[in-house]
């Protein structure tokens, strides 16, 4: 009996020791992109628990972070600025992004000397600018070597962060990554085991499944479900979880934008209708704010909500515009809660619409 209790106590002690960090509360995160027209001071940071400043780039010879001098003052003021409205907000610096060079990221991740330069400088930079965490956004990683190297990078990065914490009086930096909707690529798979052990969580970029620049049919570009294809959010989230990543490490990406297709024939305007490329803008991409304005000023037909895919769309002459309206955002946030995910992350905070005085921004209704 005594030994039984001893064993149980020992096990309790072990489990306490192995999980010293308290559970992370529901995350309401947003990316702020330095290329947007929204001043950091205009972000309503009370809507978020985490704000992510995007992006720092990589120097292709030193593998240190590089922040263009035009952005330097915004990045260095970011944390203090967003804490003015919400002192308990947590800030992260995101590295990489869609415009970062594949060859530089790939060379960095593939060489231990370069990884060390990168890791050490990233920690120094985060501290220097006052960020509380780092987010790694290598969206172009596309080979199994890239993925293996990314796993090694996360391993070494976490070790360096833990070491830095032991040596300083500061709290440990958060480490996250932005990843594709599914861990499986044509070639290779995200390093789920390393992610589980070394990252606090991942931001699942659950959108851009179809774009008018290459899909010659209208489509739900961020479909929650799709009865005819694996390219949908529910499939991707299940693949991450079945691959071994706990749901509590997944933060669901919500697009605050949409896409406009040009219909081949305005009378054929359902999801999957023939299309001939982008409409309204060069690539067809439109912020939620611009979509609302376009809807209001152009005598649109719709919006139509399609529950098979969970998407909204409307039609203006030959333009077919799909987006996540307030109803869709609500459903996706409920989905994230039902699946016991860790929260949601918005791309991008400046795309939101404050709807004037009578209606609240869509992010405000994300619970």
Nearer to ligand NAG, 144 or 248 (CB): 144
Determine the Cα–Cα distance for residues 134 and 95; give it in Å rounded to an integer. Answer: 7
Nearer to ligand NAG, 65 or 250 (CB): 65
183: part of which helix (H) or strand (E)? none
Stretch of 40-48, 73-81, 241-249, 283-291 contacting ligand NAG, by CB under 6 A = 40-48
> Nearest to residue 43, comparing CAs of 357, 367, 351?
351
Asked if residue 152 binds ligand NAG (CB under 6 A), the reply is no
Q: How far is the CB of 273 from ligand NAG (least distance, A)?
A: 8
Asked if residue 167 binds ligand NAG (CB under 6 A), the reply is yes
Who contacts 219 (Cβ-Cβ below 8 Å, separation ≥6)?
A: 209, 210, 261, 271, 272, 322
Residue 149 CA: distances (Å) to CA of 191, 289, 302: 9, 39, 47
Three-state DSSP state, 322: strand
Q: Which of 111, 152, 298, 318 binds ligand NAG (CB under 6 A)?
A: 111
Nearer to ligand NAG, 117 or 201 (CB): 117
Nearer to ligand NAG, 245 or 273 (CB): 273
Determine the Cα–Cα distance for residues 340 and 334; give it in Å rounded to an integer. Answer: 10
Per the CB < 8 A criterion, the answer to whether 252 and 224 are in contact is no
Asked if residue 102 binds ligand NAG (CB under 6 A), the reply is yes
Determine the Cα–Cα distance for residues 295 and 156; give it in Å rounded to an integer. Answer: 49
Per the CB < 8 A criterion, the answer to whether 53 and 34 are in contact is yes
Q: Which of 163, 170, 301, 340 binds ligand NAG (CB under 6 A)?
A: 163
Q: Which of 113, 169, 171, 267 binds ligand NAG (CB under 6 A)?
A: 113
Asked if residue 76 binds ligand NAG (CB under 6 A), the reply is no
Q: How far is the CB of 270 from ligand NAG (least distance, A)?
A: 3
Angle formed by the axes of helices 69-85 and 112-129, nearest 10°: 50
Using CB under 6 A as the binding criterion, the count of chain residues that bind ligand NAG stands at 27
Q: How far is the CB of 42 from ligand NAG (least distance, A)?
A: 9
Nearer to ligand NAG, 238 or 304 (CB): 304
Q: Which of 140, 165, 189, 281 binds ligand NAG (CB under 6 A)?
A: 140
Q: How far is the CB of 307 from ligand NAG (least distance, A)?
A: 5
Asked if residue 165 binds ligand NAG (CB under 6 A), the reply is no
Determine the Cα–Cα distance for residues 69 and 76; give it in Å rounded to an integer. Answer: 11
Asked if residue 271 binds ligand NAG (CB under 6 A), the reply is yes
356: part of which helix (H) or strand (E)? none
Q: How far is the CB of 275 from ligand NAG (least distance, A)?
A: 8
How many C-beta atoms surround the C-beta of residue 20 within 10 A?
6
Asked if residue 144 binds ligand NAG (CB under 6 A), the reply is no
Burial of 15 (C-beta count, 10 Å sphere; 0-12/13-18/19+): exposed
Q: How far is the CB of 188 from ligand NAG (least distance, A)?
A: 9
Angle, CA of 294, 297 and 300, to the nearest 5°: 70
Stretch of 28-36, 136-144, 243-251, 314-322 contacting ligand NAG, by CB under 6 A = 136-144
Nearer to ligand NAG, 242 or 270 (CB): 270
Q: Tokens 């919006």 sit at which residue? A: 303
Q: How far is the CB of 155 from ligand NAG (least distance, A)?
A: 16
Q: Which of residues 282-341 bind ligand NAG (CB under 6 A)?
A: 306-308
Please provide the distance, in angstroms rounded to a whole number, between the alpha carbons at the two ends of the chain: 48
Who contacts 76 (Cβ-Cβ below 8 Å, separation ≥6)?
A: 129, 130
Determine the Cα–Cα distance for residues 326 and 366; give it in Å rounded to an integer. Answer: 9
Per the CB < 8 A criterion, the answer to whether 240 and 230 are in contact is no
Q: Which of residues 43-62 bind ligand NAG (CB under 6 A)?
A: 44, 46-47, 59, 61-62
Give me the residues that bind ligand NAG (CB under 6 A), please. Answer: 44, 46-47, 59, 61-62, 66, 102, 111, 113-114, 140, 142-143, 163-164, 167, 187, 216, 270-272, 274, 306-308, 364
């Amino acid at each position: 009996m005594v030994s039984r209790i001893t064993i149980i106590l020992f096990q309790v002690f072990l489990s306490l020791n192995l999980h010293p960090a308290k559970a992370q509360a529901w995350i309401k995160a947003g990316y702020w992109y330095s290329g947007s027209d929204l001043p950091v001071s205009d972000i309503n940071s009370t809507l978020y628990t985490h704000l992510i400043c995007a992006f720092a780039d990589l120097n292709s010879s030193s593998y240190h972070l590089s922040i263009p001098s035009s952005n330097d003052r915004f990045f260095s003021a970011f944390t203090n600025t967003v804490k003015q409205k919400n002192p308990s907000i947590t800030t992260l610096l995101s590295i990489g992004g869609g415009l970062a060079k594949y060859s530089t990221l790939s060379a960095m991740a593939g060489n231990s000397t370069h990884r060390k330069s990168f890791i050490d400088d990233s920690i120094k930079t985060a501290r220097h600018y006052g960020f509380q965490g780092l987010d790694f956004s290598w969206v172009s990683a596309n080979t199994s070597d890239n993925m293996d190297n990314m796993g090694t990078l996360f391993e070494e990065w976490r070790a360096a962060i833990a070491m830095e914490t032991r040596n300083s009086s500061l709290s440990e930096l958060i480490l996250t990554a932005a990843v594709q909707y599914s861990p499986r690529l044509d070639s290779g798979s995200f390093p789920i085991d390393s992610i589980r052990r070394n990252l606090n969580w991942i931001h699942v970029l659950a959108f851009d499944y179809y774009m008018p620049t290459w899909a010659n049919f209208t489509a739900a570009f961020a479909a929650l479900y799709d009865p005819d294809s694996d390219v949908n959010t529910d499939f991707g989230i299940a693949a991450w979880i079945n691959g071994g990543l706990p749901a509590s490490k997944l933060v669901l990406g919500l697009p605050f934008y949409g896409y406009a297709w040009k219909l081949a024939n305005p009378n054929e305007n359902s999801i999957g209708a023939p299309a001939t490329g982008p409409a309204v803008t060069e690539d067809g991409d439109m912020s939620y704010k611009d979509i609302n304005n376009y809807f209001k000023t152009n005598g649109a037909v719709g919006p139509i909500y399609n529950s098979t895919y969970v998407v909204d769309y409307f039609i203006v002459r030959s333009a077919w515009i799909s987006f996540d309206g307030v109803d869709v955002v609500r459903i996706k946030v409920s989905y994230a809660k039902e699946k016991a995910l860790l929260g949601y992350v918005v791309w991008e905070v400046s795309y939101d619409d404050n709807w004037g005085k009578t209606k609240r921004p869509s992010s405000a209704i994300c619970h």
